[in-house]
Amino acid sequence: MAKRDYYEVLGISRDTDENEIKKAYRKLAMKYHPDRNAGDTKAEEKFKEAKEAYEILSDVSKRAAYDQYGHAGIDTSAAGAGHAQGFGDAFSDIFGDIFGTRGGGGRSNAHRGADLRYNLEITLEQAARGSETKIRIPTMAICDTCNGSGAKPGTTPKTCSTCDGHGQVRMQQGFFSIQQTCPKCHGSGKMITSPCSACHGAGRIKQHKTLNVKIPVGVDDGDRIRLSGEGEAGINGGPAGDLYVVIQLSSHPVFQREGNDLHCEIPISFATAALGGEIEVPTLEGHAKIKISAETQTGKIFRLRGKGIKGVRSNSAGDLLCHVAIETPVNLTARQKELLQELEDISQKDNSRHSPRAKSWMEKAREFFSE
């Protein structure tokens, strides 16, 4: 039987961070643990399935391999070996999380660095054609003075006397024996007696860094560009987090984007709308001409195929939709007013022929008020 997707097993999305993965696993483990479901084989299978998914997704390298190649990219026998550890170890992991550690003596206290978010505003033209830009972000980086150890150069951290370097102390709570983070060294297993003057023992310092960001063709508002390993530096040798660049499209003076299509309003004169003609309209690639048919009404849409934007996941570009708006003339001369009045007088003699929409509207209005 084919294995279910590990993200589906834990009920999480693919961009879920490490803390949320722990929370999802802990919830399922508490629900399906055999001690709470005696004799229920289905619950036991769900517990094993959740534990296997957690063992893969909580490991940075295994998760990366799984994201790229799926089940074929990981050693399932290693994941399956987690079942042989017994249910007690998994339950210990759960309670270990509650007390600030995942349990297991002597485990590394290395932590992955935090992911960062950067909002990048770009123009519609940049989104349509793709581009490259530089961004400057604040972040936590490895201290160059102590190389991340937190100790003054020439000195080394001492082994914690409380936990003997394990980073954890065992405590009894009811019939559970629980390992808890050492309160003295905070799980590192080491004590820094001579802290680094640059980072004050933290092993990391605040700094700004400049990065090149390649904006792919067709990105849209809200899309994210992931820069792997460009987030905050890890703690105690842990891997760096990722940087997520979130795209924000600035407003455009002519076009409005809707998916891969572009919309724009085209004002035309009363005469052009009535008699027809040819007008020039802007596109992202230059100019194009469209033919206005005679007797065009406000709101009519003229479509220019392929003049929109080619999306990131599209094989072809969208369309440009030109919405016609008939412009009422202003600042009329006496002669212009005279001609318009003459046109109005002639039109009134056979209003149903020249203004069919007005006639239909008046009939509906009379019917409404008569009711």
Domain limits, the chain:
6-98, 116-249, 256-328, 330-371
| Secondary structure of the chain as H, E, C letters | CCCCCHHHHHCCCCCCCHHHHHHHHHHHHHHHCCCCCCCCHHHHHHHHHHHHHHHHHCCHHHHHHHHHHHHHHCCHHHHHHHHHCCHHHHHHHHHHHHCCCCCCCCCCCCECCCCEEEEEEECHHHHHHCEEEEEEEEEEEECCCCCCCCECCCCCCEECCCCCCCCEEEEEECCEEEEEECCCCCCCCEECCCECCCCCCCCEEEEEEEEEEEECCCCCCCCEEEECCCCCCCECCCCCCCEEEEEEECCCCCCEEECCEEEEEEEEEHHHHHHCEEEEEEECCEEEEEEECCCCCCCCEEEECCCCCECCCCCCECCEEEEEEEECCCCCCHHHHHHHHHHHHHHHHCHHHHCHHHHHHHHHHHHHHHC
CATH: 1.20.950.20, 2.120.10.10, 2.10.230.10, 1.10.10.60. Which one for 116-249? 2.10.230.10
Reading the block at residue 103, the tokens are: 């349990």
Name the nearest CA neighbour of 111 among 199, 159, 181, 158: 181
Any residues with CB less than 8 A from the CB of 271 and at least 6 apart, and which? none
Q: What's residue 358's pLDDT? A: 60
Query: CB-based burial of residue 16 (10 Å sphere; 0-12 exposed, 13-18 middle, 19+ buried)?
Result: middle
Reading the block at residue 142, the tokens are: 């490895």
Distance, C-alpha 156 to centroid of its chain: 41
Q: CA 330 to CA 309: how far, in whole Å?
A: 36
Amino acid 265 reads E
Reading the block at residue 275, the tokens are: 């008699």
Q: CA 296 to CA 276: how far, in whole Å?
A: 7
Alpha-carbon torsion angle 25, 59, 108, 115, nearest 10: -90
> Does the reported pTM lie above 0.95?
no
Q: What's residue 353's pLDDT? A: 60
- pLDDT digits (tens), the chain, 371 positions: 567 889 899 999 888 888 889 989 988 988 888 777 878 888 888 988 999 989 898 888 788 878 777 777 675 544 444 443 444 444 444 444 444 444 444 445 677 888 999 999 999 999 999 999 999 998 888 888 888 888 889 888 888 888 888 878 877 665 566 777 888 887 778 888 888 988 888 888 888 999 999 999 999 999 999 999 999 888 777 888 999 999 999 999 999 999 999 999 999 998 898 899 999 999 999 999 999 999 898 889 999 999 999 998 888 999 999 999 998 888 989 998 898 888 888 877 765 565 666 656 666 677 667 76
Q: CA 42 to CA 251: how far, in whole Å?
A: 54
Q: CA 260 to CA 312: how far, in whole Å?
A: 9
Q: What's residue 92's pLDDT? A: 45
Q: What's residue 319's pLDDT? A: 96
Hey, how many other C-beta atoms are within 10 angstroms of the C-beta on 195?
18
Q: CA 214 to CA 226: how far, in whole Å?
A: 10
Q: What's residue 58's pLDDT? A: 87
Class of domain 6-98: mainly alpha
How open is the CA angle 164-181-15, to the nearest 5 degrees? 130
Class of domain 256-328: mainly beta
Residue 101 Cα distances to 12, 32, 96, 160, 184, angstroms: 22, 22, 5, 17, 14
Reading the block at residue 84, the tokens are: 């042989």
Q: CA 23 to CA 155: how far, in whole Å?
A: 38
Q: What's residue 354's pLDDT? A: 59
